[in-house]
Structure 1
Amino acid sequence: MAHDHAHDHDGHSHAGHDHSGHDHSGHDHSGHDHSGHDHSHSHSHSHGIGGHHHGPVDTGDWRYAVGLILNLAFVACEFGAGIWAGSTALMADAGHNLSDVLGLAMAGGAAWLARRAAGPKRTYGYGKATVLAALGNALLLIFACGAIAFEAVRRLAEPAPVASGVIMVVAGIGFFINLGTALLFMKDQHKDLNVRGAYLHMMADAAVSLGVVIAGAVILLTGWAVIDALVSLAIVVVIMLGTWGLLKDSVNLALDAAPNGVEVDQVRAAFLALPGVSAVHDLHIWGLSTTDTALTAHLVHDRADADALLAEAQGVARSRFDISHTTFQLESGALPDCPTC
């Protein structure tokens, strides 16, 4: 439920504040001299509007809990089987799975933090934890790829006999566990970067396990132990290709860049197309989390109906760009001197 208020203090008019359970402390517009201009500020929030995020994400903790329990149990079994069978491939795969268990723990913790309410110090809440978790997941994947590649190169130089039958059985079980866990996150992987990270982790594990099964079968039929290392290197390439986009998007969000799918020039043009708007400056767009986007902008106009303009600007941000958290400052008159706008 939106509430509109009008406050008049120190000669400035603030109209159209829309609050939906969020605290908007910290917006500072003191860097410009707006004396003689009429200012109107609007804060708007709405969730569930369709757009580049395609709606809210169900990030229930049960998915992370199920993934953690299944994969942690399998890591212990796989590592034990690797020791019993003398298979470094199984032990390396167990180490890779362990890194993904840690990644799932980070993703689940971030999803829980994101639902915590904002406070007097963290006025935006804990949504940014989802960005940090996504970045951490990408780095963990890269680290795991490095470990797999190192082990594969070592095995190329020093091939060793392995118990191919044990490798196939254990890795086959791991494939189904990892694939099943990945399917829990498949639905929302394009809506939330953090869920996408968990999905990629589990799909990467499934790919690794399947590769180990195939390698075990080839070794069983041919006796070529070197196949294990070659398949591992191929899997590393596949994982790295899938991880690059996650790393790039999470770094951009961590640096408060405009989220993927939001073109700043298009947003500026949409506001300039509003009747009576002559200029747009101090336009900033960034991710509050992996699902929510924020925007601030100053609109210079010559309209008498400031409230109507605020509503139109909010509607454009929500319906066209799925930006649910907006702050507008309306200014009547010429654009102030601002070399960095």
Structure 2
Amino acid sequence: MAHDHIHATPADLGPAFRWAVGLNTAYVLVEATAGFLTGSLALIADAAHNLTDVAGLLTAWGAAVLAKRAGTVAYTFGYGRATILAAMLNAVAILIGVVLVIWEAAHRFQAVVEVPGLTILLVAMVGIGVNTGSALLFIKSQKEDLNAKGAYLHMAADAAVSGAVVLAAAGIMLTGWQWLDPAVAIAVSVLIAWTAWGLLRDSLRLELDGVPEAIDRQAVADWLGGQEGVSNVHDLHIWALSTTRTAMAVHLVWDGADPDGFLDHVADELEHGFGIAHATVQLEQVACERAGSCLVT
């Protein structure tokens, strides 16, 4: 049996989260102040929404910190799966926010609310800068880390909302059409819901021990079956330890002469070729008798 104990170190997202939390907290204070001074319910409501963004960032940040902690007697794999849970919570929070925005927008079609176009435009332009800057902090890490992707999508979605608000505010100032505000809000919300659903689907897959989307299970099985001395591959399981670490366990029927060298080779190739950093391989000399769990290659 082999255990590869050399795990890839997750990217340090601490600085990105610190900047994102700081920028968004400052923006919440500015937006809430502007809302109270102008009496704009839209700005106050959006400030409350951005406050939930700060909470989402803090949740994702806390999960990233937990992921770096070593395993314990009770949690032998460590706390990496907290990053998966954080990504899921971020997706749920985005979808809840979408429902609330659409609900409010629908009511505003029935009861038109006069909004201070210029104030909303100026504050929303600040929001574009804050949210775009926050999203850019995670743009590299989001490609390989689902938790970072959750933070990235949250900030990118808010930047899109702020951009739409700017367009709506400008349209209201030019035409006086107050219905532009709820109409744009609904259109952007539908787009955001689509991206959030993808994040929720991916995080749920990892939470249920599904094979990470970036890994082809059949390709792994074929590669293992093609190694010298391997006559059968069975009980192959691949699952996520976190949003950046993948584990695998497998039984191989093998008749070679150098088990240590073979296991080192397999562990190295699985990590570098498939991104599986924690591999457990059990070597057997008897052919698989459990037909239901065998994967013959």
Letter in 1 for 2:68: R
**Kept in 2: contact 1:93–1:208 (CA 8 A):** no
Q: CA deviation at 1:256?
A: 0.9
- The residue that corresponds to 1:31 in the other structure is none
Tell me if 1:148 matches 2:130: no
Equivalent in 75, 79, 85 of residue 28 of structure 2: 75
Q: Which runs of 5+ in 2 are unaligned?
A: none
Residues 270, 316 of structure 1: 8 Å contact kept: no
What residue in structure 1 maps to residue 139 of structure 2?
A: 186
Q: CA deviation at 1:57?
A: 4.3
Structure 1 gaps of 5+ residues are 1-40, 49-55
Read off the aligned partner of 2:162 and give its amino acid letter: S
* Conserved 8 A contact 1:138-1:247: yes
Alpha-carbon separation, structure 2, partners of 1:155 and 1:295: 52
TM-score, normalised to structure 1's length? 0.83
Q: Which of 283, 286, 289 is residue 242 of structure 2 equivalent to?
A: 289
Deviations for 1:99-141, whole angstroms, at most 9, x for unmatched residues? Answer: 2111100011011111111111111111111111011101011
What does residue 333 of structure 1 align with? 286
The structure with the greater share of residues assigned to helix is 2
Q: Residue 157 of structure 1 aligns with which residue?
A: 110
1:88 equivalent in alignment to 2:48: no
Distance 2:289 2:167 in 1: 66
State how far apart, in whole Å, the 1-side matches of 2:94 and 2:54 are.
11
Aligned residues: 294
Give the TM-score of the pair, scaled to structure 2.
0.94
Q: Mean alpha-carbon deviation: is it higher for 295-304 or for 76-85?
A: 76-85
> Displacement, 1:200?
0.7
- Alpha-carbon distance, 1:98 to partner: 1.7
What CA deviation, in whole Å up to 9, does each residue of 1:85-107 have, x standing for no partner? 23232223223212211110001
Contact 1:185 1:199 in 2 (8 A): yes
> 1:236-275, aligned counterparts within 5 Å?
236-275=189-228
- The 5 A counterparts of 1:175-214 are 175-214=128-167
Contact 1:148–1:232 (CA under 8 A) maintained in structure 2: yes
Shift of 1:62: 2.3
Which residue in the other structure is 1:172 paired with?
125
2:283 pairs with 1:323: no
Distance 2:160 2:10 in 1: 26
Task: Tell me, yes or no, if the aligned pair for 1:86 and 1:162 is still in contact at 8 Å.
Answer: no
Question: How far, CA to CA, are the matches of 2:10 and 2:139 in structure 1?
Answer: 12
Is the 1:267–1:321 Cα contact (8 Å) retained in structure 2? yes
Which of 50, 54, 58 matches 1:97?
50
Checking the alignment, whether the CA contact within 8 Å between 2:234 and 2:293 is kept in structure 1 is: no
Report the residue type matching 2:35 in the other structure: G
Counterpart of 1:318, as a letter, is E
What's the CA shift string for 1:268-319, capped at 9, x where partnerless?
A: 1110011121111111100000000000000012222222321232233122
Rg bigger for which structure? 1
**1:42 and 2:2 matched:** yes
1:45 partner letter: H
Matched to 1:106, the amino acid is: T
AA at the equivalent of 2:268: G
Distance 1:283 1:177 in 2: 46
Stretch moving more, 221-230 or 89-98: 89-98
Partner of 2:76: 123
Amino acid at match of 1:118: G
CA RMSD of aligned residues (A): 1.5
CA distance in 1, matches of 2:86, 2:33: 29
